[in-house]
Amino acid sequence: MRIARYSFNDQIHYGVVDLSIDGNGDSDTVSELEGDPFAGPVRLSGVRHELTAVRLLAPVLPRSKVVGIAANSVPGQDEPPLASGLPAVFLKPNTSVIGPGEPIVVPTMSQDTALEGELAIVIGRICRSVPLERVPEVIFGYTVTNDVTARDLIVDGVPWGVAKSWDSFTPLGPWIVTHLSIEEASGLRVISSIDGQAVTTGRTSGLIHGIAELVSFVSEVMTLLPGDIILTGAVGGAASIQPGTTLEIQVEEIGTLVNPVVAP
């Protein structure tokens, strides 16, 4: 199932996306849901729209946090792995989240802002200290993300916070896929493109710390809430971006996230 969050006639809804078999988009639809998938039972309202008639939004607005993971794949890392061998966790504010088509704003003070195409895990229930074997119970689904980073703002002692926390630096979308198992999500191809030209490629099988390990570890550190996001790490490295370009992050079996890049 594909769960989208969208705007229609200035009202925000969740819905179930149905894609056409031929993939040309002519008959793609979204069926409206009554209720919030992260807050309780939902049901189909009976209202359906052509997907082209609605504006897709970020499929979830994290209620508390976006958890990022750095240095989590090889090759193509800008940062060396931590000596401890533990996942390198950092936090991003929920104000950094934007949806498909919304502009990524490059800060004036940065001369080296980069894209990082990644798989994002969406948490579906409140959880703490989740053992590996129970991780599937707390994952709502997966979506596509771009962990935008102002690389020249990384400073000693504060390796990621300032560089990754700007408004618009966490695009999410186009929807959440709920039917993938952890095993299926652990072998997806990720392609990042600028103006239609691929600049990084990789697979989620290249993650040093896998999906179940990340969820279990992060839940030991902090309580996870419904709608929280865990960014799993760039599997193909990073690529510099410039205002005036358009970025596409494609994750196999999920979809393509498209955002323009602009100056302030």
Q: Are strands 229-231 and 66-70 parallel, antiparallel or unpaired?
A: parallel
Domain with CATH 2.30.30.370 in the chain: 2-56
Distance CA 105, CA 10 (A): 24
Residues 67-79 pLDDT 10s: 999 889 875 445 5
Is the model's pLDDT at 84 over the cut of 80? no
| pLDDT at residue 22 in the model | 60
2-56: CATH topology is SH3 type barrels. (2.30.30)
Q: Do the Cβ atoms of 3 and 14 come closer than 8 Å?
A: yes
Residues 150-183 pLDDT 10s: 999 987 655 577 899 999 999 999 999 999 999 9
Of 154-158, 182-186, 202-206, least confident by mean pLDDT is 154-158
Task: Count Cβ atoms within 10 A of the Cβ of residue 40 and give its class: 0-12 exposed, 13-18 middle, 19 or more buried.
Answer: exposed
Domain with CATH 3.90.850.10 in the chain: 66-262
Give the chain's radius of gyration (CA, Å): 18
Q: CATH assignment of 66-262, given 3.20.20.70, 3.90.850.10, 3.30.420.40, 3.90.1170.50?
A: 3.90.850.10
